[in-house]
Amino acid sequence: MEADASVDMFSKVLENHLLQTTKLVEEHLDSEIQKLDQMDEDELERLKEKRLEALRKAQQQKQEWLSKGHGEYREIPSERDFFQEVKESKKVVCHFYRDSAFRCKILDRHLAILSKKHLETKFLKLNVEKAPFLCERLRIKVIPTLALVKDGKTQDYVVGFTDLGNTDDFTTESLEWRLGCSDILNYSGNLMEPPFQNQKKFGTNFTKLEKKTIRGKKYDSDSDDD
C-alpha cells in the first residue's frame, strides 16, 4: 500500500511539473506571436534583414574555416607546419602519435568524427618521430597526447585516456566533453556531468595548465610511456 501511495504521489508531482512546463512554453510562444502581430511591415523587414545578415556572416565564417583546413582530420608532415597551422587558427587540437601505439588509432577514429562536427576547431595529427624538437619543448612523453592550442598558446593537454573514463572504449561524446572543458570546441552539453559512467570511480580531475607560448620552456606532463 505504501509503495502504491508513493507511486501515485510521484505521478501527480510529475504531472504537475509537466503541466507547469507546458504552460510556460505556451506563454512564451503567445508572447512571441503577439510581438510579431504588433510589428509593422518596416519592423518585419528589418528583422528579416538582420537574420539574413547573421546567416551570411555564419556562411562566411564557415568558408573561412574550410579554407584554413578545418572540417577534416589532417596529418601534418613536420614541426614547421605545426607552427604555421596554429598561427592561422584560433582553436587547434593536435594529436601527437606514434604508428606503433594502438591507442593512437582509437583516438584517430574519434577525432575524425569531431573534426566534421566542430568546424570552429582545427584537428591535426603529428608523428612524434618527425617532431623531436617540438616534443621536447612541450615535454610530450606519453603517447597518445593531445595538445590543445588556443590563440597560438598551449592551453591544456589530454594525456592518455585518464580523463576519458580510463578506458579504451570511451565514446566520441566523452572526448567531445573533455575538449569542451578546455573551451577548445563549442560543447552543447553539461560540462559538469561527464558522459562516461562510473564518474566517482574514475574521477573528473584533470590538470589544466597555465597559458604558455608554444615556444615556452615550462610544460608539465606525466612521465609514463605507452
The pLDDT of residue 201 is 45
Q: Which three three-digit cell numbers place residue 108?
A: 584517430
**Among candidate residues 144, 143, 151, the one with its CA nearest the CA of residue 184:** 151
Any idea which residue has 506563454 for its cell?
27
Q: Which amino acid is at 36?
A: L
What is the predicted pLDDT for the residue at 49?
84
Ranking 23-32, 120-129, 161-170 by mean pLDDT, the lowest is 23-32
Contact 94, 82 (CB under 8 A): yes
C-alpha cell at position 48? 528579416
User: Is the Cβ–Cβ distance between 141 and 96 less than 8 Å?
Assistant: no
The answer to whether 101 touches 168, Cβ cutoff 8 Å, is: no
Residue 130 pLDDT: 95
Give the percent of the chain with pLDDT over 70.
77
Tell me the per-residue pLDDT of 72-120, one tens digit each, with 9 for 90 and over: 999 999 999 999 999 999 999 999 999 999 999 999 999 999 999 999 9
Give the per-residue pLDDT at 60. 93
Cα 196 to the chain's mean position, in Å? 15
What average pLDDT does the segment 187-196 reach? 89
CA 97 to CA 206: how far, in whole Å? 20
